[in-house]
Structure 1
Amino acid sequence: MNEAVVHLEVVSRVYPGNPPVRALDRVNLTIRAGEMVGIVGPSGSGKSTMLNILGTLDRADAGAVHIDGHDIATLSDRQLSALRAHRIGFVFQQFFLSPGVTALDNVADGILYTGLSLRKRRIRARRTLERVGLGDRAHHRPHELSGGQKQRVAVARALVGKPAILLADEPTGALDSASGAAVIKLLHELHDAGTTIVVITHDHGIARELPRQVHILDGRIESDERAYGGPRGSRYHHGAPRKVGR
């Protein structure tokens, strides 16, 4: 069985207030290498907090969090930054590309802190752009790219460091339907090639196309569904949700 890239055990996160907000409530979740998982829920369900915990951008108040084999509670802030830089790739709704900088160098900046020379970083960046279908746009700047192409550059930047896990937060939220469908297709292709991918989304249409869907509501995992049968799309079938104990 593939090793666990994510393992959360009875994880809670509470934000202070009157009353306090329990954003995650005793969550158990394991994601193994090579999986493609959707974290699905409406606004306020806890999925953004889940993203922050999975991406080591925030720490849990209770429970155990293991990412890529590391016990997050034992790591310093500096060690967490290194883990994010080398083992976690992020794709956000907004592209966060540097204006006036070519697609090639936007991607190369994704491994700026690896110690590689600019030449070697650009070689890897070009290969990754080719992997996402943008080899012919390497020297275009963000204002010369469509929304879908910008998101592909963002995906390439997240992938260039060969992360253990790719976290995609509402990756189609800023795109038209056709561009969004192309980005989701790309994520499926990357998953087919072995990349571990977690998609955070409120869009049930997108979620239905994913091999595994973890539904979250009020900080709790309500169900964990897996597709079975043939390839994705219309030939995917879903069994009854597996209810998760609280």
Structure 2
Amino acid sequence: MTYPMIQLTDVSRTYPGGVAALRSVSLRIGHGELVAIAGPSGSGKSTMLNVVGTLDRPSSGTIRIDGYDVSELSDGQLSALRATTIGFVFQHFHLAAKVPALDNVADGLIYTGLARSERRRRAAAALERVGLGHRMDHEPHELSGGERQRVAIARAVAGEPPLLLADEPTGALDSVSGTGVMELLHELNASGTTIVIITHDREIAAGLPRQVGMRDGQIISDSAVPSGSLAESGVA
């Protein structure tokens, strides 16, 4: 049986104080898709990324990642799932200061159990892949914003995860650097990686094959579902 890469069924996330960040959200994303989850601040899109990435557990509902029901996994198994299946790219890079690009990427593979030499080999290959083979020995402060984001993407894909989650990947970049990062994400998707991009930027969302719109913790639109059919499809 072939499972979707991501399947959410009636997922809700309520925080202390009764704040409902997600409200009975259902969503299915297939292998190889390139999807924008878009909405204004407070719409629930970042919470969506956290539960899909298994960084947070839902209050109710079911989340399956590549067929695995995450509610049935222990913390150790969730860590293993993240290490082998999910890559993360964040808006503010999260690179270690005074650490060369090569080691910033290689350190992202520590939890895979690979030997240090193999981690560094894969890190070098990932940096070559994102066009930074000539900047491996440079520390973050010696790189431009666009280059730092490319290092972050290299770190996310060095373990060749089938799923990449990107949270506002161009939010801290100028337009030229942002365009370069989006072109890179398109290239990674063309090679088979499923990519979900969280964004409030309508222009970025419009440039992707599928757009899922969120507001007040719910999906209000999905370009993969005919208009007016969300309720019937089980998407919302």
Instruction: Quote the Cα distance in structure 2 between the aligned partners of 1:138 and 1:5.
Output: 32
Q: Give unmatched runs, 5+ long, in structure 2.
A: none
Cα offset, 1:123, TM superposition: 1.0
Which runs of structure 2 are paired with 1:202-213 in the superposition (5 Å)?
Answer: 202-213=200-211
Is this contact kept in 1: 2:6–2:27, CA < 8 A?
A: yes
Q: What is aligned with 1:152?
A: 150
Q: Deviations over 1:133-152 (max 9, x none)?
A: 11111111111110000000
Deviation at 1:164, TM superposition (A): 2.2
For residue 153 of structure 1, report the CA deviation from its aligned partner.
0.3
**Residue correspondence of structure 1 range 39-54 to structure 2 within 5 A:** 39-54=37-52
Q: Distance in 1 between matches of 2:78 and 2:228?
A: 33
Structure 1 segments, 4+ long, off by >3 Å, are 239-243
3-state DSSP of counterpart to 2:223: strand
How far is 1:41 from its partner?
0.5
Partner of 1:29: 27
Distance 1:170 1:89, change over 3 A: same
Q: Provide TM-score, normalisation by structure 2.
A: 0.94
Whole-angstrom distance in 2 between the partners of 1:199 and 1:220: 17
Aligned to 2:10: 10
Equivalent of residue 199 in structure 2, options 194, 198, 201: 201
Structure number with higher relative contact order (C-alpha < 8 Å, ≥ 6 residues apart):
2
Cα distance, 1:75–1:192 mapped onto 2, change above 3 Å: same
**Take 1:197 and 1:49, find their aligned partners in 2: how far apart are those partners?**
17
By how many angstroms is 1:119 displaced?
1.5
Pairs aligned (count)? 232
Shift of 1:243: 4.4
Match of residue 55, structure 1, among 49, 53, 56: 53
What is the rounded CA distance, in whole Å, between the counterparts of 2:26 and 2:162 in structure 1?
Answer: 20
Q: In 2, distance between residues paired with 1:165 and 1:114?
A: 16
SS of residue in 1 equivalent to 2:109 = helix
Superposition deviation, residue 16 in structure 1: 2.4
Equivalent residue number for residue 244 of structure 1: 230
1:97-136 superposed matches below 5 A = 97-136=95-134
Aligned to 2:182: 184
Contact 2:162 2:192 in 1 (8 A): no
| Amino acid in the other structure paired with 2:78 | L
Q: Matched residues, percent identical?
A: 61
**2-structure distance, mates of 1:138, 1:16:** 44
Unaligned ranges ≥5, structure 1 = 227-238
Report what 2:168 is aligned to. Answer: 170
Residue 242 of structure 1 and its aligned partner are, at CA, apart by 5.8
Query: What is the CA distance between 1:4 and its match in structure 2?
Result: 0.7
SS in 2 for 1:4: coil
In the alignment, residue 108 of structure 2 is paired with which amino acid? G
CA RMSD of aligned residues (A): 1.5
Aligned residue for 1:81?
79
Matches of 2:108 and 2:129 in 1, distance apart? 15
- What is the CA–CA distance in structure 1 between the aligned matches of 2:108 and 2:183, rounded to whole Å? 22
User: d(CA) in 1 for partners of 2:229 and 2:22?
Assistant: 17
Q: TM-score, normalised by structure 1?
A: 0.90
